[in-house]
């Protein structure tokens, strides 16, 4: 454990600051994600060169693959996925039991922050407001009992914990559809940030010929009376999904060929994802910088409004799950 202590301390500090940014601005600066990645990759490779190997890298890799699939189904934002790319290296030094515990905490804290978003939105709707507060209290009680279970291994504590999970789950279903609508906002193009999910086609009144050449690389352009409708290209969506998954399963192929290749391939593939993120993780999977710049250029002579879907902050649940994992 002493060997990974510098990595652990560094990740906790960066995640604490990233949680603050995610709560306040609903995004994390790219430079923070890059610093987190660089330190984790190089420290991971340093430990391998010192013949200190991960406890269960394969299971951690399966977890990473799972999060990539969640992203492709739009159940995880791009910023959160890139946090996991870095955190993967730290988690690989924990046992399977600890990793499973981390996932359990992550689900519960993620659920808490979704209910906190509901509390902020439903201040005028007292019924849904109190349901959301009640849910947070029940989940905190569930976390308390699950910790008692892992401390004493008494099955009754686990059953009590599950009861306190199921009640808020069914209560949350009552407000989830309406909450999703209320977390969808109309924004000006100048307010867009990297990774935003656009829910519908983008309407523009005019497109200059010089802009159209760049625009068709990322969007299908449909004429609708006096307006143009911009939609993300389906072929790009399919191709990007294919390449993201292809590179994600390469380490598994290396695992059966040569374990050393498996160890070294994962950090290099994650670095590859970061280098080509503006080519792979775009469009339907979250706006890239290039797409935002194109829309801003169109916004210079168009009044463009886009429908953006927001979610609850997810970096704070990651940070809290890691802290509880160490307690």
The DSSP-derived string for 180-212 is HHHTEEEEEGGG--TTPEE-SPEEES---HHHH
What is the SS3 assignment for 290? helix
**Same domain flag for 157 and 290:** no
Which pair of structure tokens corresponds to residue 61? 């890799």
**Same domain flag for 102 and 192:** no
**Same domain flag for 55 and 164:** yes
**Same domain flag for 118 and 245:** no
Per-residue confidence (pLDDT) for residue 229, from 0 to 100: 86
**Same domain flag for 218 and 179:** no
Per-residue confidence (pLDDT) for residue 205, from 0 to 100: 85
Neighbour-count burial of 309, counting CB atoms closer than 10 A to its CB (0-12 exposed, 13-18 middle, 19+ buried): middle
**Same domain flag for 16 and 100:** yes
Residue 20 and residue 26: Cα distance in Å, rounded?
Answer: 9
Per-residue confidence (pLDDT) for residue 135, from 0 to 100: 93
> SS3 helix, strand, coil % of the chain, rounded to 5?
70, 10, 20
pLDDT tens, N- to C-terminus, the chain (327 residues): 678 899 999 999 999 999 999 888 877 888 898 899 999 999 988 888 887 877 678 888 998 899 998 888 877 877 788 899 989 889 988 888 888 889 989 999 999 999 999 998 998 788 899 999 999 999 999 999 988 988 888 889 989 999 999 999 999 988 888 888 888 888 888 888 777 777 677 888 888 878 887 888 778 888 877 888 888 776 566 788 888 888 999 998 888 888 788 888 888 898 888 888 877 776 556 777 778 888 888 888 888 888 888 778 889 999 999 999 887
Q: How many domains does the chain have?
A: 2
**Same domain flag for 90 and 239:** no
Which residues 6+ apart lie within 8 Å of 147 measured at CB?
324, 327
**Same domain flag for 8 and 145:** yes
Residue 49 CA, distance from chain mean position = 30
Which residues 6+ apart lie within 8 Å of 324 measured at CB?
105, 143, 147
Query: Which residues on neighbouring strands pair with residue 221, listed in sequence order?
Result: 230
**Same domain flag for 148 and 26:** yes
**Same domain flag for 195 and 78:** no
Length of the chain: 327
**Same domain flag for 144 and 226:** no
Domain limits for position 223 = 185-309
**Same domain flag for 216 and 319:** no
Find the distance separating the first CA and the last CA of the chain, reported in whole Å. 14
Asked if residue 279 lies in contact with residue 84, where contact means CB atoms within 8 angstroms, the answer is no
């Amino acid at each position: 454990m002493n060997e990974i202590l510098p990595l652990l301390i560094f990740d906790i500090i960066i995640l604490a600051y990233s949680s603050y940014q995610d709560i306040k601005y609903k995004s994390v600066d790219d430079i923070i994600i890059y610093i987190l990645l660089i330190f984790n990759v190089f420290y991971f490779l340093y430990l391998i060169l010192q013949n200190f190997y991960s406890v269960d890298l394969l299971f951690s890799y399966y977890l990473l693959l799972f999060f990539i699939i969640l992203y492709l189904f739009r159940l995880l934002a791009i910023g959160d996925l890139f946090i996991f790319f870095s955190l993967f290296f730290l988690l690989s030094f924990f046992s399977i039991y600890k990793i499973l515990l981390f996932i359990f905490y992550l689900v519960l804290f993620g659920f808490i922050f979704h209910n906190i978003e509901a509390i902020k939105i439903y201040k005028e709707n007292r019924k849904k407001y109190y349901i959301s507060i009640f849910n947070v209290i029940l989940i905190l009680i569930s976390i308390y009992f699950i910790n008692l279970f892992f401390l004493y291994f008494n099955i009754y504590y686990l059953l009590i914990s599950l009861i306190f999970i199921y009640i808020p789950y069914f209560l949350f279903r009552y407000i989830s559809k309406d909450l999703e609508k209320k977390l969808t906002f109309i924004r000006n193009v100048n307010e867009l940030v990297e990774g935003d999910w656009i829910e519908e086609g983008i309407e523009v009144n005019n497109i200059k010929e010089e802009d159209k050449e760049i625009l068709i690389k990322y969007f299908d352009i449909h004429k609708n009376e006096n307006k143009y409708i911009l939609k993300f290209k389906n072929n790009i969506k399919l191709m990007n999904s294919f390449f993201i998954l292809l590179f994600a399963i390469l380490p598994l192929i290396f695992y059966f060929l040569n374990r050393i290749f498996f160890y070294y391939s994962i950090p290099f593939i994650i670095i590859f994802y970061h280098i080509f993120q503006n080519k792979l993780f775009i469009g339907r999977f979250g706006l890239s910088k290039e797409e935002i710049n194109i829309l801003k250029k169109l916004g210079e002579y168009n009044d463009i409004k886009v429908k953006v879907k927001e979610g609850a902050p997810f970096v704070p649940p990651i940070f809290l799950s890691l802290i509880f994992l160490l307690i």
